[in-house]
Structure formats: C-alpha cells, structure tokens
Amino acid sequence: MAFSQNNGKHGLVSDINVTPLVDVMLVLLIIFMITAPMMTQGVDVNLPQTTARPLRQDEAPVIVTVTRKGEIFVDRTRGDQAMLREQLGALARRGGTNRTILLKADKNVSYGLVVAVMADIKGAGFDKLGMVTEPRSEGR
C-alpha cells in the first residue's frame, strides 16, 4: 500500500491493483478463442450448390446426412439404411410425421443411394422432405 501526504499527516491509500485481473482475463480470452472453433460439431459434407432460398421452419427438423463414403447419419447417430428405417419408424410411431426431414447428401454420393434414402424417408410416412444445399457463389 502507498502512503500519501495530507497536510503533513500520513494516511493509507487503498488502491486495487487490477494488473492480475487483466492478465487472467486475457488468458481466458485466448483460451476461448482457441477452443471456440473446436466446439462446432457436425458431419463434414460437401454440399451441392443451388440458387434456392432457405425455408422457414416451425420446429427443429430431423437431419439425415449421407457422407461421401456412403455412411448415413440420423442427426448425429451413425448407422446404415436399416438403422435409418428403424429411427424414422420410431419417430413416426411417436407421432412425428409432421416434422420436416432435411437430407444432406455429399455431391459425390451416388444418385442411387440418395434416392434409396429418400424412399426410406417417404416409406416411413414423412411428407416434408427437404434437400440441404449451399448457395451458389456469384462467380459460377
């Protein structure tokens, strides 16, 4: 603590040293900046590009993803077509046929697999099926 001169009397000056607080906050900021990009999760899919606009939705859709290797994910659960039919059948039995199913298929996946997945979705009783694409860039 420092002493000050007040009319010849010595008194205590109570100042808070904020340097350690600033140091800790900067370290936390750096940690969050490094870890924030790692917290985004999902399946890496190279989506086709289109000029269609996004659709408005009332509730969270079920996302079915088909990767380049032909792997099928229902939301983030990995499986095959049998698992897809089982998951969608269970959702339909719970009365979820009103929900929207969004299909994210890699543009390098065979057309036959995409059509088979779409047939499984329709076969489970879901009528609202959307395809997820990327917006086309202006240079193309």
- pLDDT of 140 higher than 60: no
- Per residue in 100-139, pLDDT tens? 888 888 888 888 888 899 988 888 888 888 888 777 776 5
- What residue ranges do the domains of the chain occupy? 2-39, 49-135
Mean pLDDT for 72-90 is 86
One-character DSSP codes across the chain: -EEEEETTEEEEE-----HHHHHHHHHHHHHHHHHGGGG---------EE-PPPPP-SSPPEEEEE-TT--EEETTEEE-HHHHHHHHHHHHHTT-TTS-EEEEE-TTS-HHHHHHHHHHHHHTT---EEE--EEPPTT-
pLDDT of residue 17: 87
- pLDDT of 40 higher than 90: no
CATH number of 49-135: 3.30.420.270
27 — pLDDT class (breaks 50, 70, 90): very high
